[in-house]
Amino acid sequence: MLAAACEVDRHRGEELRHAVQRSLLEGRAERPSFLDRLVAASLRAARRERHSMTNYACRLPDGKIGRTAVVLVDGEWELVCQVA
């Protein structure tokens, strides 16, 4: 019985050593570059600002079609035409 317990402990140590060895061989997980994270943050901010977009189409000054958005300008809510 004592021999079986020692054998189990030995195998447990081997599993741990193998797990550590695998993690060392795999290396560090790569993180997105600073530029990629900055682009993602700006896209999130732009999407947050567009949450007030409506389904109504409007014409931009250059003649393209945009969407009407409700935005806060100088403390008042206004309808503006923005690029969709």
Which has more pLDDT, 10 or 64?
A: 64
The predicted structure's pLDDT at residue 79 = 87
* Separation between Cα atoms, residue 4 and residue 60, nearest integer Å: 80
The predicted structure's pLDDT at residue 74 = 82
Residues 24-77: tens digit of each pLDDT: 888 777 788 888 888 888 777 766 655 577 788 899 889 889 888 887 778 788
27 — phi, psi (to 5°)?
80, -175
CA angle 79, 80, 84 (to 5 degrees): 120
Alpha-carbon distances, residue 55 vs 46, 50, 58, 67 (angstroms): 18, 12, 10, 7
The predicted structure's pLDDT at residue 46 = 64
Q: In the block, which residue shows the tokens 């402990």?
A: 9
The predicted structure's pLDDT at residue 22 = 85
CB atoms under 10 Å from CB of 69, counted, come to 20
For the chain, give every domain's residue range: 2-82
The predicted structure's pLDDT at residue 15 = 80
Helix (H, G, I), strand (E, B) or coil at 36: helix
- Whether the per-residue pLDDT at 6 is higher than 80: the answer is no
